[in-house]
Amino acid sequence: MRVSRSPRQIRKELKAIRVLGKRIAFVPTMGALHEGHLGLVRRARREGDLVVVSIFVNPAQFGPKEDFRRYPRNPAADRALLKRERVDLLFNPNVSDIYPAGFDTYVLPGKIADRLEGAFRPTHFRGVATVVLKLLNIVQPDVALFGRKDLQQSLVIEKMVSDLGLPVRIVVAPTVRDRDGLALSSRNAYLTKLGRKKALVISASLLAARQMIRDGERSATRIRNYIERRLLREAEAEVDYVSVAERSTLCELQKISGQVAISVACRIERVRLIDNLTLKV
């Protein structure tokens, strides 16, 4: 596995690869890698001839009171995992490689970014879209892979790619969970044993809600209330939102029908966790 911090070096290496007619598959991450990331890497291997992974904790997507400084960083373990997955190229730039002094241009995503996460993290998707555009510009992959765990993020990126006419195919891969249902996340590392146990209520209540809908429940309000009550009672969570929305726009539903996304964001032991399930009614 080749490793480089330099955008210029990455561009140069990939240009030579592209000339050979090889397809480049790209997985952007913030590191602290887990099986969710590795699932994307394995899928990338199927989508392309050459797999590029980036590790960059992007300051622009963290709010001023968020965990940018203490976000988990495990560079040595990450490298070992990526080597084992036979990743071809690791791009791990410094902040100044991506945001040189005087950097002052951002991508402003539209309505899709205002809801759910956007309502609680006002500059988050601006930071995400900006860094993803920069990374896509540097790597220029044929395919870029993202996780459905961050459903709204994948929608923001798909919209940016389509609106700005970027020549890349976006693949969104299913959420990888621990055996007990907890969606894998780098932030799970912040949880105590007890907190992790409490966090199981997130996936459990999402699954139960999906079953209620499959069994005929059509009131979005009743589903939201059901999930919120369980999060409060069983996990003493601080709930940011429980959403029952149209899957592609994330507009809240009253009566449940069509393609639906049920999404949750809450804090357990001050750790902010998100998860979602989708279904077709």
Give the number of residues written for the chain.
281
CA distance 268 to 239: 9
Min separation Cβ 95 and ligand AMP, Å: 15
Cβ-proximal residue to ligand AMP, closest one: 147
Per rule CB under 6 A, is residue 37 in the interface with ligand AMP?
yes
Interactions with ligand AMP, residue window 141-170 (CB under 6 A): 146-147, 149-150
Per rule CB under 6 A, is residue 263 in the interface with ligand AMP?
no
Per rule CB under 6 A, is residue 39 in the interface with ligand AMP?
yes
145/213 with CB nearer ligand AMP: 145
140/175 with CB nearer ligand AMP: 175
| Angle 237-238-241 from CA coordinates, rounded to 5° | 110
Query: 177 near 46, Cβ under 8 Å?
Result: no
DSSP string over 57-82: --GGGS-TTSSTTTS---HHHHHHHH
57/213 with CB nearer ligand AMP: 57
* Amino acid at position 90, single letter: L
178/217 with CB nearer ligand AMP: 178
Min separation Cβ 215 and ligand AMP, Å: 27
Min separation Cβ 101 and ligand AMP, Å: 25
Of 7-15, 163-171, 183-191, 225-233, which part binds ligand AMP (CB under 6 A)?
A: 183-191
Per rule CB under 6 A, is residue 140 in the interface with ligand AMP?
no
Task: Name the burial class of residue 105, with classes exposed (0-12), middle (13-18) and buried (19+) by CB atoms within 10 angstroms of its CB.
Answer: exposed
Min separation Cβ 93 and ligand AMP, Å: 15
173/242 with CB nearer ligand AMP: 173
Is 124 among the residues known to form the active site?
A: no
Contacts of residue 81, Cβ cutoff 8 Å, sequence gap at least 6: 33, 38
Q: What is the CA radius of gyration of the chain?
A: 19
Neighbours of 166 (CB within 10 A): 17
Considering only 14, 24, 38, 40, the residue that binds ligand AMP (CB under 6 A) is 40
Tell me, by CB under 6 A, how many residues bind ligand AMP.
17
- Measured in degrees and rounded to the nearest 5, phi and psi for residue 67 equal -95, 35
Neighbours of 137 (CB within 10 A): 11
Per rule CB under 6 A, is residue 132 in the interface with ligand AMP?
no
Choice among 25, 29, 37, 261 that is catalytic: 37
Interactions with ligand AMP, residue window 88-117 (CB under 6 A): none
Query: How many angstroms separate the first and last alpha carbons of the chain?
Result: 45
Per rule CB under 6 A, is residue 184 in the interface with ligand AMP?
yes
What strands lie across the sheet with 271-280, from one edge to the other?
238-246, 259-268, 271-280
Output DSSP code: residue 115.
S
The catalytic residues are 37
User: Which residues contact ligand AMP by CB under 6 A?
Assistant: 29-30, 36-37, 39-40, 146-147, 149-150, 173, 175-176, 183-186
